């Protein structure tokens, strides 16, 4: 675990320095296209389920209905935002989360806090490690996976992860991002919400 954290810190620090010019350019483009704030902050469950604030570039506007309610995510996702997501550029600020120790480079993706009461005991095991920017599920289908398959990949990683497997996932992530594999699920933007288990997964 200590080796993984050391690797995460060194690599994320180097990457953060390298992509700083890109971060500045994207921040300016987000400001021009979507306005303030440039970044999106949201509480997500981290290691042992402890909440932290994940940071991403904004991809949606704040368009509301006549009664002041926000439109659906699909309606608010702009063309510019779709590009940021498809290229995974919106997730670059998460390097800061890795530096802080909230996240790892590799691990189960941090999902919504509202899902916590819906998990089975087996699914809750995804919080036994730090959440990751990328993970085993991401390089095996990403959002194109069903929730059942996503959780199966997460648990497989929990039980089998090694330093070499992390390197393999990072390597495969490069190709997934370049080819833009599994960005959406059956044309949905973003992936449909998890609504609980219809049968036991324990």
Q: Is 51 exposed, middle or buried (0-12, 13-18, 19+ CB in 10 A)?
A: middle
The torsion angles phi and psi of 12, rounded to 5 degrees, stand at: -65, -35
Closest CA to 107 of 150, 64, 53, 166: 166
> pLDDT per position in the chain (202 positions), as tens?
788 999 999 999 999 999 999 999 999 999 999 999 999 999 999 999 999 999 999 999 888 888 878 888 888 888 999 899 888 899 999 999 999 999 999 999 999 999 999 999 999 999 999 999 999 998 888 777 889 999 999 999 999 999 999 999 999 988 777 666 654 544 445 568 898 886 444 4
> Where in the chain does DSSP place strands (E)?
39-45, 51-57, 104-106, 132-134
The torsion angles phi and psi of 194, rounded to 5 degrees, stand at: -75, 130
Count of CA atoms in the C-beta half-sphere (13 A) of 121:
2
- Who contacts 94 (Cβ-Cβ below 8 Å, separation ≥6)? 54, 55, 56, 103, 133
Q: Which residue has the tokens 């997934």?
A: 176
Q: How far apart are CA 92 and CA 88, in angstroms?
A: 7
pTM listed for this prediction: 0.86
Q: How far apart are CA 183 and CA 81, in angstroms?
A: 13
- Who contacts 127 (Cβ-Cβ below 8 Å, separation ≥6)? 45, 46, 47, 48, 49, 108
């Amino acid at each position: 675990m200590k080796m993984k954290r050391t690797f995460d810190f060194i690599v994320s620090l180097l990457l953060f320095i390298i992509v700083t010019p890109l971060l500045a350019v994207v921040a300016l483009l987000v400001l021009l296209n979507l306005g303030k704030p440039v970044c999106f902050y949201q509480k997500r469950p981290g290691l042992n389920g402890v909440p932290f604030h994940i940071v991403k570039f904004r991809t949606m506007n704040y368009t509301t209905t006549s009664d002041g309610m926000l439109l659906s995510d699909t309606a608010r996702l702009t063309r510019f935002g779709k590009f940021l997501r498809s290229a995974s550029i919106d997730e670059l600020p998460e390097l800061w989360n890795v530096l802080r120790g909230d996240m790892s480079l590799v691990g189960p993706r941090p999902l919504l806090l509202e899902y916590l009461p819906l998990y089975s005991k087996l699914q809750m095991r995804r919080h036994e490690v730090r959440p990751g920017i990328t993970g085993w599920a991401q390089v095996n289908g990403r959002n194109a996976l069903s929730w059942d398959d996503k959780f199966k990949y997460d648990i497989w990683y929990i039980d089998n992860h090694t330093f070499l497997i992390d390197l393999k996932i990072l390597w495969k992530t490069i190709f997934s991002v370049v080819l833009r594999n599994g960005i959406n699920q059956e044309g949905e933007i973003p992936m449909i919400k998890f609504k609980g288990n219809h049968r036991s997964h324990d």
